Amino acid sequence: MDYKLLTPGPLTTTKSVKQAMMVDHCTWDQEYKTITQEIRQELLSLAGVSDAEYTTILMQGSGSFGVEAVLSSMLGPEDHILICVNGAYGRRIVSMSERHNLTYTVYEVAEDEIPRAADVAEILENDSSITAIAMVHSETTSGILNELDEIAKLVKDNELLFIVDAMSSFGGIPIDVSALSIDFLISSSNKCIQGVPGFSFTLAKRDQLEKRRDFARTVSLDLYDQYETMEKDGKWRFTSPTHIVLAFHQALKELDKEGGIYQRYVRYLTNNRLLRQKMAELGFQPFIKQHQGPFITSFLYPEQLAFDFDTFYHHLKQNGFVIYPGKISTVDCFRIGNIGDIYPADIDQLVEVIEKYTEVANVS
Ligand SMILES: *Cc1c(COP(=O)(O)O)cnc(C)c1O
């Protein structure tokens, strides 16, 4: 059964990205190591940062492994991390911090609100022991896009460490990593770069990496150790996901061919606006009223229909589209992603399929 994924990663990739995996590549020779180095360089250039100030570390596993690598190997006994939460991925950072016995404080707002800089400022004023802030950029739980600018100012003014989970945003929206003073930005192979799942990557400020080299609590997720090995000649510690690396290398070329991050952002934004406008015409309300991001949208179950998610899901799947169930803790939603190799024509087609469902559901 052939269908398009309207999910925020894994997502629909191009044929050429899948084709790049049809090789069983060795890992020891120069050619493979060069591919790794090219990927690392290209990620720095996408972020607009210099090789002198930043580096990229690739890490086996899904995106969460990258977040956990940063939290478990870059925070020391003197650190106290303030975690801004407005969804499940923020809460995941809290779970990881708890598991690794980090000193942390949680600042949580509702899932349809963004963390406010004024609140963060107040927390910082009342607690001078805080040394770091961690937050999610695009909270994929709801699709809300958190604002980094104002919080970044507080990070700078208070000389804090800034950790950003930009999993579902990096590559799909311009992020001025250096100007925002981000020390560790984490994303993964299967989100806006449009590769397949299997590794995460961290853009890291070199001076912080060096300063924090001895803090690792695990061997496999030791970010510094991985960096040290990779930095020599592009060799991964432990077995690298060769097919995924080849696919990602190809995906980066395709991002470049599309015109870079800004052009991709415009495509995603166009998809997202079209989706929300057409869904509104069919009577579907978005969960997020303000700060909706361009990547994924949560829609409330429509009250006027005899709505059943399973029936809806299977109707869409039979007609060529797969979506996500909701993840909001307080209301029933489903989510539609519009990232990946997806264009306005796909959105038009999807909405036609949804319209057919509403006609049937209206009768019953
Ligand atoms: C996808 C995602 C992650 C990582 O999830 P994995 O399932 O481990 O890949 C983390 N944070 C956000 C915001 C995400 O969208």
Q: From the CB of 167, is ligand 1 less than 6 Å away?
A: yes
Please, which pLDDT band fits residue 306 given cuts at 50, 70 and 90?
A: confident
Please, which pLDDT band fits residue 89 given cuts at 50, 70 and 90?
A: very high
Q: From the CB of 188, is ligand 1 less than 6 Å away?
A: yes
Distance CA 328, CA 237 (A): 37
**Mean pLDDT of the chain, nearest integer:** 97
Please, which pLDDT band fits residue 361 given cuts at 50, 70 and 90?
A: confident
Give residue 228 CA to ligand 1 midpoint distance, Å.
25
Query: Which amino acid is present at 274?
Result: L
Distance CA 83, CA 95 (A): 11
- pTM for the model stands at 0.97
Q: From the CB of 140, is ligand 1 less than 6 Å away?
A: yes
Torsional sign, CA 298, 303, 309, 314: negative
Give residue 157 CA to ligand 1 midpoint distance, Å.
29
Q: Is it true that 17-257 and 260-363 share their CATH fold? A: no
Distance CA 88, CA 139 (A): 8
Distance CA 304, CA 55 (A): 52
Give residue 293 CA to ligand 1 midpoint distance, Å.
16
Cα angle for residues 341, 357, 194 (degrees, 5° grid): 10
Cα angle for residues 158, 162, 164 (degrees, 5° grid): 150
Would you say residue 364 has pLDDT above 90? no
**260-363 under CATH 3.30.70.260, yes or no:** no
Domain segments of the chain as ranges: 17-257, 260-363
**Using one digit for the tens of pLDDT, what is the confidence trace for 256-287?**
999 999 999 999 999 999 999 999 999 999 99
**Using one digit for the tens of pLDDT, what is the confidence trace for 190-238?**
999 999 999 999 999 999 999 999 999 999 999 999 999 999 999 999 9
CATH fold of 17-257: Aspartate Aminotransferase; domain 2 (3.40.640)
Cis amide bond preceding 197, omega within 30: no
Task: Quote the strand ranges of 97-192, DSSP E.
Answer: 103-108, 132-136, 138-139, 144-145, 161-165, 184-188
Asked if 72 contacts 62 with a C-beta cutoff of 8 angstroms, the reply is no
**26-30, 210-214, 302-306, 342-346: least confidently modelled range:** 302-306
Q: Kindly write down the DSSP assignment for every residue of 308-323, as one continuous string.
A: -HHHHHHHHHHTTEE-
